[in-house]
Each structure stands twice: as C-alpha cells, then as structure tokens.
Amino acid sequence: MAEAYDPGNIFAKILRGEIPSHRVYEDEAVVAFMDVMPQGTGHTLVVPKAPSRNMLDADPATLGALFAVVQKVAVAVKKAFDADGLTLMQFNEPASGQTVYHLHVHVIPRFEGVPLKPHSGQMEKPEVLAEHAGKIRAALAG
C-alpha cells in the first residue's frame, strides 16, 4: 500500500507560492520551474498542480496534461541552450531515488560528451537559475 500524499512537501509549497521558484511556464494544470540542484545546464522540473505522490497514484488525465507540457518545455529547453539532446527522468518511491513526493518530470538538456551531475547534488546560484529561466521563457514565447 503506497503512502498518502503529504501536502507539506516542497513542491506543494512552491505550487502554493509559499516558497520561491524560478518559473518558466504555468497553465491551469501544470507548472515548470528550474531545479535548484541541476544535474546539467537548464535542468527543469515539470509539475502538475493536482496532488499525487508520483506516477503510481496519479490520475491518467493529470498524466496527459503533464506530458503535453513536458514536450512543450523539452522543445523550448533544447532550443534555449542549443542542446544536442534531452534526458527525461521520473522517479517513483525511495527505492528509485525519488526525494520529493509530488509527481514531477525532470527535463535535462544534454550535450555531446558531457555527463550528468549527481542527483540532488550541488545548489546552483540564484542568478544563474534566473538567467537560465529567462532563456527558457524566451524560447517558449517564440
């Protein structure tokens, strides 16, 4: 039996505006913002507003809305950083490496020969995250 959703998780706080984030996209169902410990330049998190711990307890309609935005953000992020490729990641429960228990998808630009940094590794400077968020917002705008 999966554990219950905890509305005190960090992404729920970000969605409620209780703690800041560098947002790049928002619609009625989904928000995207910069990961504070990026595994690569432009590492972005795409997060549905509807509460679920992860993929296992999510409503299929939530997954539909989420992945439509994942594609939109992925295309924009690739353009914003002129990336060679993209890695998508999504973890479910502690054994998989999940650390924040509100469903989210990682969108990480990839560059030939550049390995990913560790998961939940080093905090990035806020000014760098702000600059990267600006590039992604510009790419999303056109």
Q: What whole-number distance in Å separates Cα of residue 25 and Cα of residue 39? A: 20
φ/ψ (deg, to 5) at 83: -75, 155
Q: Please say which residue, 97 or 142, places its beta carbon nearer to ligand 5GP.
A: 97
55 touches 91 (CB < 8 A):
no
Please give the DSSP secondary-structure letter assigned to residue 10. Answer: H
CB of 59 to ligand 5GP, least distance (A): 19
Using CB positions, name the residue nearest to ligand 5GP. Answer: 37
Catalytic position from the list 102, 104, 106, 132? 104
Q: What whole-number distance in Å separates Cα of residue 13 and Cα of residue 142? A: 30
Q: Please say which residue, 71 or 99, places its beta carbon nearer to ligand 5GP.
A: 99
CB of 56 to ligand 5GP, least distance (A): 13
CB of 71 to ligand 5GP, least distance (A): 19
| Annotated catalytic residue 104 | yes
Interface residue list for ligand 5GP (CB under 6 A): 10, 21, 33-37, 91, 97-100, 120
Q: How distant, in Å, are the alpha carbons of 7, 25, 74, 77, 100 from that of 10? A: 9, 18, 23, 23, 7
Catalytic residues: 104
